[in-house]
Amino acid sequence: MASIAAILKGYGYNKLLLKKLDPYLNIDPGTLSPFEHGEVYVTDDGMETDLDLGHYERFTEIPTNKNSNTTSGKLYKSLLEKERKGEYLGKTVQVVPHFTDQIKEFIRDKEDECD
């Protein structure tokens, strides 16, 4: 991801956002063992993320924040909260299309701010 962003910057695309989806079911990496997963990276706004995001930020010089990273656990939590609030009106909540829609929402969030 960082290499692609650097190439795009080289071609004049300067309004880029970094997005990373971690597949683990934890809400954030703050409680993961650093021996198993590596250190945690903290964004400027205090979000604990995967260390990879810090590498991407340093390599590309594109700032990251709480909107730059999510986990499957965080997406499932959001999905289940919507279900509890009745947002699916009695429908059976499923991986496809409901969870995949959560992924799409994460990717598309803030897209209007990009080149």
Interaxial angle between packed helices 2-10 and 51-60, expressed in degrees from 0 to 180 and rounded to the nearest 10: 20
Torsion sign, CA atoms 16, 21, 27, 28: negative
Alpha-carbon distance 112 to 87, whole Å? 25
Alpha-carbon distance 27 to 25, whole Å? 6
Q: Model confidence at 82, in pLDDT bands (50, 70, 90)?
A: very high
Alpha-carbon distance 22 to 7, whole Å? 23
User: Residues 11-34: pLDDT tens digits?
Assistant: 999 999 999 999 999 998 888 888
Q: Model confidence at 8, in pLDDT bands (50, 70, 90)?
A: very high
Residue 24 structural domain: 2-113
Number of independent structural domains in the chain = 1
User: Residues 32-67: pLDDT tens digits?
Assistant: 888 888 889 999 999 999 899 999 999 999 999 999
CATH number, residue 89: 3.40.50.300
